[in-house]
Amino acid sequence: MNENEYLVEITTTIPEGTPAEEVDRRRAAEAVRARELAATGHLARLWRPVGELRSIGVWRAADEAELHDKVLGTLPLRPWMTITVTALEAHPNDPGRTP
């Protein structure tokens, strides 16, 4: 499968008045889904900027439609997320690039 890489920035905002049990349930389900997406190669890396409640990650999918519909769209917290996607391509000076 030809996988493209995407830099994905995610900010999650929990709606005011959401019961703590619902937040806990979704966060637990999110952790499980993230492990599944990592196992299938869709989630390559994930970071949280120091002191911020957002994440930055490298995600893989055949195209942006698959990324949004079949990958990010399956995240339990997706309804509460604001997502920015940047398509990536190899740089000729990337020290980790393989010929």
pLDDT tens, residue by residue, 31-76: 999 999 999 999 999 999 998 889 999 999 999 999 999 999 999 9
Average pLDDT score, the chain: 94
| Rounded-to-integer distance, Cα 9 and Cα 86, Å | 9
- The pTM of the full predicted model, rounded to 2 decimals, is 0.90
Q: Could you please report the per-residue DSSP string of 33-67?
A: HHHHHHHTTSEEEEE--TT-SEEEEEEEESSHHHI
Pairing outcome for strands 4-12 and 81-88: antiparallel
